[in-house]
Structures are given as C-alpha cells and as structure tokens.
Amino acid sequence: AVNCAARITWLLDRLEIQPTDRILEIGFGPGTAIRYAAERATQGCVAGVDPSDEMLRQATARNRKAIAAGQVDLHCAGVEALPFADDQFDIVFAINSMHHWANPARGLREVQRVLRPGGLFAVLYHPVWTTNPQAADAGRDEIRALLWDSRLRVTAQLEEAIAPSKAVAVIATTT
C-alpha cells in the first residue's frame, strides 16, 4: 500500500514551515497535503492549483473549514498560468505532479514569478508503481536537469524509503 501521509509529512517536515508562511501546492490532488500544510501555517495561508475539477471537489470537501476561515484558497488551474501575484509565496511545493506538467519550463517560470526572493521550491517524486529504487533516482535526475535550466538553485536533495519504493525530493531556492 502507498503511504501518502508518510511522504507528505516527510516533505513538509523538511520545509520547516513557519506559522506565518504563505504556501502554494501545485497539483494538490485530493487536498491531503493542503490540509497538512494549513495545520502548520496556522497564521499564514495555503493555496493550491490542480487542473482537475474532480480533485478540486475532493480537496474543497477535505479543507472546507480552512476555506471558510480564509486560510486555504484552491483553484482549478495549471502550473503554466498561476492565478497569483508576483512574489506571493514563501514556499511552493509539488508532490508527484511535476512529471505531468505539459510545459515544465513555462511552469518553472511561473513558480519563480510567484515565489518571493529567497523562497523555497520543493519537488517530491515517489514512484508508487514500482519497488525499484532506480525509478526514483531517474525522476530525481530529471527534476534536477529541469531546475538546472531554470533560475532556481538546488540547495538539497533528499531520499527516504517510503513504501512501496523510495521517495526523493529536490529543494531549490530563488536567486
């Protein structure tokens, strides 16, 4: 079985989210990581984009109270045209979604636009369809190559054994 909570917690712990942080998740799926991030950024805000209407419905239901309180803001949108102002976020993260981006270069330009100077961008890749750890390594290498071509500077790469395979994360900062 895939342990989604473990991978979300593992990544968010490494981001050292502060109570007042402004956070964006790209590809929020059913909204589980949005909820976990909102529990940490208690005085900040958490936003998310996902291109799926169904994921928006599920995430909205899961985060109903935080949305009503104005702490969470969800949008049906893709990474290529983020509906947010420049320099709006302290942290932007994506869990198992970057490999679905239609235009990664354009998506990374948008991430840079909405991320404040010195902000963090984290990408987690957890190939749950295989137990082969080399799949995670290949994903990490692809993410690093995409970041290399952008103006984001890689500051850390991490890995953790999370069933059924290995999860990898690449963390970068704006320059």
Give pLDDT tens digits for 42-96: 999 999 999 999 999 999 999 999 999 999 999 999 999 999 999 999 999 999 9
Residue 10 has pLDDT above 80, yes or no: yes
Backbone angles phi, psi at 80, to 5 degrees: -75, -15
Q: What is the pTM of this model?
A: 0.94
> In 10 A of CB 36, how many CB atoms?
18
Give pLDDT tens digits for 111-134: 999 999 999 999 998 887 777 778
Residue 108 has pLDDT above 80, yes or no: yes
Contacts of 47 (CB under 8 A, 6+ apart): 22, 23, 24, 25, 72, 73, 74, 75, 84, 89
